[in-house]
Amino acid sequence: MISTGSEGLGLSQLAPLLAEVGKAFERQLASDLPPVNTLCRHVERYRGKMLRPTMVFLCGQAFGPVGERHVIVAATCEMIHMATLVHDDVLDEAEVRRKGHTVNHLRGNEVAVMLGDYLISNAFHLCSRAGDPALNLRLGEVTNTLCEGELVQLSHREDLSLDERTYFEIVRRKTAVLIGACCELGAQLSGAPADAVAALRRFGEGIGVAFQIQDDLLDLEGRQDVVGKSLGRDLEKGKLTLPVIIHLAQASGEVRERTIEAIRARDGAALLAELTSSGSLAAARSRAVELVAAARTELRHVPAGVSRDALDAAAMAIVHRDF
Amino acid sequence: MISTGSEGLGLSQLAPLLAEVGKAFERQLASDLPPVNTLCRHVERYRGKMLRPTMVFLCGQAFGPVGERHVIVAATCEMIHMATLVHDDVLDEAEVRRKGHTVNHLRGNEVAVMLGDYLISNAFHLCSRAGDPALNLRLGEVTNTLCEGELVQLSHREDLSLDERTYFEIVRRKTAVLIGACCELGAQLSGAPADAVAALRRFGEGIGVAFQIQDDLLDLEGRQDVVGKSLGRDLEKGKLTLPVIIHLAQASGEVRERTIEAIRARDGAALLAELTSSGSLAAARSRAVELVAAARTELRHVPAGVSRDALDAAAMAIVHRDF
């Protein structure tokens, strides 16, 4: 979405910067141990959309030149993201990711757990290379929050009474704060004023929540050959997502009973039919669209130009993607 | 072993310092989310021997006063260690740890994976509070190496041709480097000269390898009610440890066949009988004793005094522990 879009946007600087992120990745993950290198080569293909590095660079470029520190932060955030993908696939028992097999499917959960740890460790090590303790502190805070979101989500598995407030708190923590930090740090490292830094953090968190809602929708109604990863995992693992929460909050009588039965039976087709007929899928999609609209208003704190236009386009693309 | 021993050694300063580590732990892991707090309270009981913090403080005290940074490093290293325990228990499918149930047994692998991540993340966040990028860089290097050791070990599961050289390389990485870093950083933060810092790193790595060999022996011949954790996991998970490697390197004919059959059948009693009669248990124990003896000679770089005596006593205790 973003990586191809960026060319269309005429951001000639973005492609070489993303290539720098790729090089930083390879340098960081190079090991003298062949079994480690084989695994790292496998997960390198998880670097798909590069949404997080793109946000670091666009938010930086909007305020000034971007440099080595931006590349370090971008690569660190993408590596943190990859670590969460590897561990999420263990949690979700997913078999497919980026149209290839997941590490847990190919090599077992144990290797996937340890490989995720290796990526987290390397992310922090790479971040430390910037020589700026404030960066370590900020990204440590972000990953603490991210894990908290995952832990709270796990504690609500099979919880049919999960409410919207808790759902949004989980999603903010597990998905949005990392994207928010990418925007915030990208701008900060280019010397953006404090109000713009704060606005871009809100922008990133807003599109981050919208991104997760879109992920929830794709898990329910996407086509695996297009999305490129295992779908239906939310239902399978007892995770209530926004369309289901909206639906259950208003459903009563037979509709409610049929829905709960579909959830208990892990019947994706039946659940989808209920969510469609009640308008809950559309309602969830509207929430994502509203979040993106609100996020875009934060861009008034950003100087007009090609970078701001690209941020605006990226935000809109979030809710229109089908992969 | 260490925590009770330290009182006997008359190191009156050690107990309050270890209490500071406990407080740093609680402060760091305090969350506004009840499900997260419940889990953290459960793993707090994993803080048993406090070997790593003890090494930070003793190596520091041998050269000068110890302060806030020592406490941060000590708590960070213990938190890294706890994270590895939580994930190791997932890898080993262990049910008992410190005489209580493991997180994976009580709450499932998914919670244990995510809780381990939360501990790793908090360890790095805590470390960043020292405001010293060199510390982050060093500990990031240590955890990279630690994960590499685990990944190489996983790649050798069921490998009957695993040799001693590879075994020692795995153990150095997965266990010894962290203990070595505790000794090194403790001394460095108290202003020890470079040759003493390097000697204490070697000391720590040496006792670390000996510690792991002792763990291997306990897994084979220990009593679960004394050791306090699930035993026989190495055999169960196809991990060849030093006594088995020594044994297979010299066994031939029927002895070799019987041993391989015991390994394949996961027959702990039969394997133990083979290892005992061939003298391989005793040989492995001798290696640990030799490593401790070599490590103790490194202490000549440390000024004589109560801290050096305590380091010496701690090293000897490593190979005499039965838990």
Give the residue on A whose Cα is nearest the Cα of B173.
Answer: A33
The pLDDT value given to residue A35:
87
pTM of the model: 0.91
Domain spans, chain B: 2-318
The pLDDT value given to residue B11:
62
Q: Which of B113, B116, B140 sits opposite A128 (nearest CB)?
A: B140
Give the residue on A whose Cα is nearest the Cα of B140.
Answer: A125
Read off the amino acid at residue A255. Answer: V
Cβ atoms within 10 Å of B171's Cβ, excluding its own: 24
- C-alpha torsion sign, points A239, A287, A95, A88: negative
| Contact predicate A108/A39, CB 8 Å | no
CATH H superfamily, domain A2-134+155-318: Farnesyl Diphosphate Synthase (1.10.600.10)
Three-state DSSP class for A100? Answer: strand
The pLDDT value given to residue B299:
98
Tokens of B113: 């994976």
Instruction: Output the CA–CA distances (angstroms, integers) from residue A91 to A104, A208, A288, B85, in the order listed.
Output: 10, 21, 25, 19
Q: Which of B91, B110, B120 sits opposite A120 (nearest CB)?
A: B120
Residue with token string 């996407």: A222
Topology annotation, domain B2-318 = Farnesyl Diphosphate Synthase (1.10.600)
From the CA of B146, how many Å to the nearest CA of chain A?
8
- Stretch 68-107 of chain B: residues touching chain A, C-beta under 8 Å: 83, 87, 90-91
User: Tens of pLDDT along A165-189?
Assistant: 999 999 999 999 999 999 999 999 9
What letters, b where the CB count within 10 A reaches 16 and e where it falls short, cover A255-281?
eeebbeebbeeeebeebbebbeebebb
Q: What is the DSSP letter of A175?
A: I
The pLDDT value given to residue A3:
37
Distance CA A90, CA A150 (A): 13
Helix, strand, coil % (nearest 5) of chain A? 75, 0, 25
Q: Among A79, A61, A68, A69, which residue's Cα sits nearest to residue A11?
A: A61
Residue with token string 């209530």: A240
Distance CA B40, CA A244 (A): 31
Split at pLDDT 50, 70, 90, the class of B91 is confident
Greatest Cα-to-Cα distance within chain B, rounded to the nearest angstrom: 62
| Residue count (chain B) | 323
A197 exposure class (CB count in 10 Å sphere: 0-12, 13-18, 19+): buried
Distance CA A307, CA A59 (A): 7
Distance CA A135, CA A142 (A): 11
* Chain A contact present for B115, CB below 8 A: yes
Top residue of B85, B110, B178 to mutate, by most chain A CBs within 10 Å, is: B110
Give the residue on A whose Cα is nearest the Cα of B237.
Answer: A110
Distance CA B105, CA B169 (A): 30
Give the residue on B whose Cα is nearest the Cα of A109.
Answer: B91
Residue A75 C-alpha from the chain's centroid:
15
User: Tens of pLDDT along A118-166?
Assistant: 999 999 999 999 999 999 999 999 999 999 999 999 999 989 999 999 9
Whole-number average pLDDT of chain B? 90
The pLDDT value given to residue B10:
41
Residue B77 C-alpha from the chain's centroid:
11
